[in-house]
Structure 1
Amino acid sequence: IVTKKDSAESNTNYAQGGIACVMASDDSFEAHVKDTLIAGDGLCNESVVRTIISAGPDEISELERTGVKFTEQDAYGAGYDLGKEGGHSHRRVLHAGDITGREIERALLNRVRASSNITILEHCIVIDLVTTGWLGLSEPNQCVGGYFLNQTTGGISAVRAPYTILAAGGGGKVYLYTSNPDIATGDGFSLAWRAGVPIKNMEFIQFHPTCLYHPDAKSFLISEAVRGEGAELVNAKGERFMKQYDSRGSLAPRDVVARAIDREMKVAGSPCVYLDIR
């Protein structure tokens, strides 16, 4: 495993809210599928949606066997403290306090470090993938590894591999305002494209609607779980505005909420809107 900073530094490490999964007795796979297809505005691949949602409970069990500890509570009949987030009709978001991503990453990294056949190379930036086409071979083009810069030593090394997986995260840092960490610079997209891998759906960039606004400080994410527990978005006059845009109000899907906030700010000339959690 080659990673450009510390092994724990990733978007996952900053994720707060949790994982949506059907766990409660009053919920169902069909309800979760319906919510997902509606939130996807008809652009989802339904077979993929159904596969992922139906596999959810087993994957949660696998994470627990790995050592992830989700917050427990019996109020919803599932043994978990289930939250509700935008676009969901039921409480189905499992979480570990407000550091869900960090808890999942902790357990997975512990498993990796306990595996003698896995080596982690930190502070290494992949320069490019090595393909048979790049090597000038006549056989069908395929990836045979990659080479990278070790930022600690300044040396360049290569890894030969029969299989190469790019799990490099997104490119949030191409935007001036983002809650993504500094490493989210889209490296995986460019590596894949240069190697000849087809790239698709690049227009689907998700904007999380809420983060702390401060003119002099770096912003940070405010979890969607805050709205799930009743917080309402209000403008500078203290007026709730989300019902004007969607019947689900402040718990509409993220793209709807983000566009509404953007419009409210532009119309009023305000630098921000507010979350009322009273």
Structure 2
Amino acid sequence: MHYQLGTALVEEKEKVILYFNDKYINLNRLVARVKPALKINSLFEMTQEWPYWTDQITNILSLTSTFNSEELLSESDINWQAPILYPNKLICIGANYTDHIEEMGKEKAIVKPYSFLKPPSTTLKGHRKEVSLPKASNMIDWEAELAVVIGKRAKNVKKEDALTYVAGYTLFNDLSDREAIVNSDGLGIDWVVHKAHDGFAPMGPLVTPAQFIPDPQNLKIKLKVNNEIKQDSHTSKMIFTVAEIIEHLSSIMTLEPGDIIGTGTPAGAGFGRNEFLKSGDKVVIEIEKLGALTTHIQ
């Protein structure tokens, strides 16, 4: 029983969207009909009790095979938001594909995951949303990434157990201002300038529960700009696996339910091509089994 979950505004109110059997369903309304004692507020809140909610969704889908017109949504009309709104942490891993390191002109061997933070409340954007280019830079770059959503508190987790802490996986575009690299001085790159502009974290539209992705290192990943393929790779090419990333990060900080981790991007980013995003561009990321994420550059 395969399904995916997202977040959208329906009649200007935040609702959880269930994608099941090629149908987009307002999960709040479905739950109200089938199990009225339950109450859903947000997908973020569901991650706080993830095993409970995945069991409940499976049970609800086993109780009904039909959906009424008030529950069904047309995908073209859905006002997608980032699936997890306002997580406590949005952590990104840099330089996690060997070919990407080479195209960035770096030669140093990576011995542990290289990480940084983005402010989630101002960077996260939903599917089909517009991202405005910063006025101060002409070097805005794309980065297709697999993102991990944490499903239970994780501290000092070993890699052998790490995937049991994952709620699910989604698509992520780690937009980057490469002028921060060009203009870096003896103090190094200003990572706030590089990564933290408003809207620099498009994500979604759907989270695929981890139970349906047995191996996150076995997924094709692709990015197109205006229908031209720029990145075409595979998550097996990561230097550090999802499990190793969770082990590393949980040795530093407590990972909390709803936290998001971007796992790095493969070769084909614009900086290595001396190509950058411009107003009017359409960026589409596709990850096998997860779907597609579209961003419009303004």
Q: TM-score higher than 0.5 here?
A: no
Q: Which has the larger radius of gyration?
A: 1
TM-score by length of 2: 0.21
Report 1 or 2 for greater relative contact order, CA contacts < 8 Å, sequence distance ≥ 6: 2
Structure number with the higher strand fraction is: 2
Structure number with the higher helix fraction is: 1
